[in-house]
Amino acid sequence: MLERSRVKRSEPGSAMNAHAFSRHVTILNTARMRLLDTRTSTMARTTAFRVAFLVVACAAIVARTDDAATTSHVQAITEENAHLIEEGEWMLEFFAPWCPACKKFDPVWNEFGQWASDSGVRVGKVDVTVESGLSGRFLITALPTIYHVKNKVYRIYDGHRSLDDLMSYVEEQKWESVEPVAWWRAPSSPFMVLLGTTFKVSMALRDVHRVLTESYGIPNWGAYGIFALATIIIGVLIGTMIVCLADCFVGRKPTMAPPPPPTKKGSPNGADKESEENSASAVAKEGKEQSRHRRKGKNKKDN
């Protein structure tokens, strides 16, 4: 009887435990399904984002390829390959990335380069913010500036910046009516080479000034003081070197012996001179007396 009562009493508890277990299983299955749905949606979003990124990257690569195909006919001129413009016929543009007129003219110049590749004329461009030496050698004072170069003869293009004008300038050889720059203004002349070097040195000093003020936090007056001290030291060193070289190659001039000091009376040399003078005066007196005696004798004879 007791066992039956225990069994009867345990049946409702077991039923409740089974119901709770099935409920927990249902909740776990629901959470797992939601997690799977979340992962699936996340993977779908990631896949869509990757596909969109690949599409944009491919479009950018295609656009860059098209730009490269368009601008490949315009050669960048630097200090290293500047000797190329001394051969053949060139149209050379000097520009700066910050120049609005240069940005507006850039598509026209690229089209002109593509056209000129078929006519035997080479087209180049120089960034004056990077190639300060070339900017100084060509004496660039305005942007953009265009030069026509043929066989080391330099002419400044002063026409309109349209594609038709550029094409006719080259095709009809209108550059022949333009006066070339003077020989001393030619970029290959010693004067302009020296000016280009000066431009390069000034740009290097500007970079040093920027490093001193921005990287090391030195004030402007301190940087200028450093430049002044360096200038004085370099000047002293150069002057010392010039003096040493002049002394080595030219040599010292032979020094003349000083004249003997004047002799004073009472010295041996002075006594000799006095005796000579006395003897000379005595001889003169004797000669006078002899001539006087001769005159007296002659007068007596006459009487």
Domain residue limits, the chain: 39-69, 74-183, 193-249
Determine the pLDDT at residue 207.
87
Distance, CA of 175 to CA of 109 (rounded, Å): 18
Largest CA distance in the chain: 224
243 or 52: which carries more pLDDT confidence? Answer: 243
Write the single-letter amino acid at 84: L
- As a whole number, mean pLDDT of residues 155-175 equals 94
The answer to whether residue 229 scores a pLDDT higher than 60 is yes
For residue 94, list its beta bridge partners. 126, 145
Place of tokens 């035997």: 120
pLDDT category at 209 given cuts 50, 70, 90 is confident
Determine the pLDDT at residue 35.
63
Determine the pLDDT at residue 63.
47
Distance, CA of 244 to CA of 226 (rounded, Å): 27
pLDDT tens by residue, 266-291: 444 545 555 656 666 676 777 777 77
**Among the options 58, 99, 244, 248, which is catalytic?**
99
The answer to whether residue 12 scores a pLDDT higher than 90 is no
- As a whole number, mean pLDDT of residues 142-158 equals 94
Determine the pLDDT at residue 253.
59
Query: Could you tell me the CATH superfamily of domain 74-183?
Result: Glutaredoxin (3.40.30.10)
Which secondary structure element, helix H or strand E, spans residue 238, and what is its range? helix 220-249
Half-sphere CA count of 172, side-chain side, radius 13 A: 9
Check if 102 is active-site: yes
Least confident segment among 86-90, 168-172, 217-221, 245-249: 245-249
Determine the pLDDT at residue 16.
52
Check if 244 is active-site: no
C-alpha separations of 185 from 139, 192, 295 in Å: 8, 6, 98
Determine the pLDDT at residue 179.
93
